[in-house]
Amino acid sequence: MAMWTYSEQVWDRIRNPRNAGVIEDATVVAEVGNLACGDALKLYLKLDENDRIVDARYQTFGCGSAIASGSALTELVIGKTMDEAARLTNDDIAGYLGGLPEEKMHCSVMGMEAMQAAYAKHRGEERPLTPESAIVCKCFGITEEKVREAIRHNRLTTVEQVTHYTKAGGGCGKCQPRIEAILAEETAVRKAEPEPVARPRRLTNLQKMRMVEEVIDKQVAPILRADGGDVELVDVEGDTVTVALRGACAMCVASGATIAQVVQAKLRELVDEKIVVEEAEA
């Protein structure tokens, strides 16, 4: 049996999942996955009069990553409007969990698809039956559209990666040549697209400091507080940002991963890709 290297956030939600269960008077209920492949997720959402999610629960049949992804999904969507929650990606779910092994990324994808299915159902959009010709992987019922979407969104380049993100090709293997053909087509399209013109954004030191402070306060700190931790901005000097972890994060053996995969990753995404985050000396 494979032993996965999970983040502390994943292990915490495997042992103590948040929001597991049923909402009896749910506004919308959606179910995705396939019991034939061992993973399925049922999402319950309770909305207020403004379409804001006031409660979210889930039931899942699957591995520890599926349990953790369902927990993360509900934590992320509570408090958001349906429009905001529908923009959630599998990367958001995996990032909230401090990352997932690539072999388990399909669990975060399942969480994203559950939210998308709930959004479509709430809007009264009926999903047409999938024709047999659209199925690429018959073992797990994976469509060509889903394979192409995973390749484009995650910039996948190998059949193995497609399997990790969608499970397609992970059964009998007969569909792997078709997956290779789809990869070749998508790669050709990607190469034909013109490279975006880089427009470097020059920030003054004051602008950078303000943006760093805002991202830490509004994006990073809420993630850490959900696990009993916190983060404090100590200094910004050039591209180096110094922070101090507080609460549970300060005593966590995975503090290095938290700095790199949560704090630094968010600042590079939203402020400047050159930023390096260091932890303040005790």
pLDDT at 178: 93
CA 215 to chain centre: 18
Catalytic residue among 107, 137, 175, 252: 107
The CATH class that applies to domain 8-122 reads alpha beta
pLDDT at 1: 38
* Beta strand 240-247 pairing with 276-279: parallel
Helix (H) or strand (E) holding 181: helix 176-192
pLDDT tens, position by position, 63-73: 889 999 999 99
Residues 192-214, buried b or exposed e (16+ Cβ, 10 A)?
A: eeeeeeeeeeeeeeeebbebbee
| 137 has catalytic annotation | no
pLDDT at 126: 64
pLDDT at 62: 79
Residues of the chain with pLDDT under 50: 1, 198-199
Mean pLDDT in the chain? 86
Contact present, 147 and 141 (Cβ < 8 Å):
no
pLDDT at 199: 47
- Residue spans of the domains in the chain: they are 8-122, 132-191, 205-279
One-letter amino acid at 75 equals E
Instruction: Give the integer Cα–Cα distance in Å for 103 and 170.
Output: 11
**Which fold is adopted by the domain 132-191?**
Arc Repressor Mutant, subunit A (1.10.10)
| 252 has catalytic annotation | no
Could you say which of 3.40.1360.10, 3.40.640.10, 3.30.300.130, 3.90.180.10 is the CATH number of the domain covering 205-279?
3.30.300.130
pLDDT at 201: 58
